[in-house]
Amino acid sequence: MNAEIISVGTEILMGNIVNTNATYLAQECAKLGLFVYHQVVVGDNEERLTQVMEQALSRSDVILLTGGLGPTEDDLTKEVAAKVAGKLLKRDERTKERIKSYFKARGVKEITQNNWKQAEIIEDAIVLDNDNGTAPGFIVETSDNKRIVLLPGPPMEMNPMFQEKVIPYLKKLQPDVLVTRMVKICGMGESAVETKIKDLIQQQTNPTIATYAKLGEVHLRVTASAKNEDAAKKLLKPVVKELKNRFDNKIYTTEEEVSLESCVLKLLVKNELSLVTAESCTGGLLAGSIVNVPGASEAFKEGFITYSNKAKRKFLDVNKSTLKKYGAVSEKTAKEMARGAAIGSDADISIAITGVAGPDGGTEEKPIGLVYIGCYIKEKTIVKEYRFNGSREKIRQQAVIAALDLLRRSILDEYGEK
């Protein structure tokens, strides 16, 4: 089975918003084992929308449409889909009541007339109630066994509707069950990862392995297809094991939902360790990413942003002579920053970052992208040197990821898996 993704909306055509809906649906289709050969963006224009929909029906089994279901006159997707599928629209009292209670729950007293357009449903279609908005979605089954799925445009409405209502429907269409594992790797580039598993990728049939390059990370999605979940898991197991053998502790998780920062926080909490951060070029981004994990306060109490040399001396007790002799961006300074932060705040572990983020300040000896990261753990200080490429922003983001990974590996080395 193959699927086609159609995003309806002038705001995407004009570049006002990024088409993240298409990315989301493409990823979900990949997980479901639906092949996507075409994605299309078209505006709220009856003629063009009709053409795009008819073409999609001629070449794809499942058409996933987002956008154009709202209350305004511009919103045409439902009307065009009904016409293309040869169906009528009819007023639905149940949907009308749902919209009424949606507004009531939010304290809206006067519901404007145009909202009732959203209570019109396509005859014979499966109505997908919208738990996070007013416009319902639909699944229309055509006479030649194609499926048109209509979803609202706002991701906050679309994503849960797709997860809760469309995925179970599509799964029933597919004879086989697909199970995936996401193997997340840090500290290696995409081509290095691919070289290391070229043989696995080439011989892949079931499970398949797909590579996703992220900034500072590489994710491998391993997908197995089988008659039932247990059989699929059985197929996954040896492949995931083989990947673990090949990448060892460069893998920080095999779970889709686990981020690098949540993995670090988990290790800290498990070992009852407190963490302090000391940042120069990243200026707070590292602490900011750790605090993004709910429950961060269990391990993280405070952090220092020591952008100036004076602040490095005042808060982290970095020696004046170190700064003078080696400079702020040096192995020695990173070491003293890490040590000073841990001792000054009585934390078990500290992590310190200092580097040249650019666009100015680079020299031949210390080029833009040079970053030192220090980690103080069990009264030792490890310092690593990195050379990152890209813009000021990209260099700083890569430094944050490298720092999280150094933290992770240091805790594993010193405290073990438990």
What part of residues 355-394 is at the interface with a second copy (CB under 8 A)? 357-360, 392-393
Q: Considering the rule CB under 8 A, would residue 151 count as an interface residue with a second copy? A: no
Residue nearer to a second copy on the CB measure, 211 or 254: 211
Q: Considering the rule CB under 8 A, would residue 277 count as an interface residue with a second copy? A: yes
Binding range to a second copy, per CB under 8 A, among 133-141, 171-179, 292-300, 370-378: 292-300
Contacts 24+ apart (CB under 8 A), 102-107: 102/130, 102/133, 102/134, 103/134
User: Which residues fall within 8 angstroms of residue 142, CB to CB, at 6 or more apart?
Assistant: 57, 85, 86, 148
Strands (E), 216-260: 217-226, 251-253
Residue nearer to a second copy on the CB measure, 37 or 105: 37
Residue nearer to a second copy on the CB measure, 208 or 249: 208
Q: Which amino acid is at 15?
A: G
Instruction: Count other C-beta atoms under 10 Å from residue 132's C-beta.
Output: 14
Residue nearer to a second copy on the CB measure, 88 or 213: 213
Task: Give the torsion sign (CA, 327, 333, 337, 340).
Answer: negative
Residue nearer to a second copy on the CB measure, 95 or 115: 115
Residue nearer to a second copy on the CB measure, 146 or 392: 392
Could you say which residues in the range 302-321 bind a second copy, by CB under 8 A?
302-308, 310-311, 314-315
Q: Is the separation of the CB atoms in 358 and 352 below 8 Å? A: no
Taking CB under 8 A as the criterion, the residue among 285, 323, 341, 353 binding a second copy is 285
> What is the distance between the alpha carbons of residues 235 and 230, in angstroms, rounded to a whole number?
9
Helix axes 260-270, 392-415, angle to 10 degrees: 30
Residue nearer to a second copy on the CB measure, 2 or 228: 2
> What is the distance between the alpha carbons of residues 210 and 223, in angstroms, rounded to a whole number?
8
Q: Considering the rule CB under 8 A, would residue 16 count as an interface residue with a second copy? A: yes
Q: Which amino acid is at 296?
A: A
Taking CB under 8 A as the criterion, the residue among 8, 30, 122, 329 binding a second copy is 30
Taking CB under 8 A as the criterion, the residue among 295, 320, 387, 413 binding a second copy is 295
Could you say which residues in the range 202-261 bind a second copy, by CB under 8 A?
210-213
CA atoms in the 13 A half-sphere facing the CB of 363: 5
Q: Considering the rule CB under 8 A, would residue 396 count as an interface residue with a second copy? A: yes
Taking CB under 8 A as the criterion, the residue among 33, 155, 160, 284 binding a second copy is 284
Q: Considering the rule CB under 8 A, would residue 301 count as an interface residue with a second copy? A: yes
> What is the distance between the alpha carbons of residues 81 and 84, in angstroms, rounded to a whole number?
5
Taking CB under 8 A as the criterion, the residue among 38, 96, 100, 246 binding a second copy is 38
Could you say which residues in the range 48-107 bind a second copy, by CB under 8 A?
48, 52
Burial of 191 (0-12, 13-18, 19+ CB in 10 A): exposed
Q: Considering the rule CB under 8 A, would residue 40 count as an interface residue with a second copy? A: yes
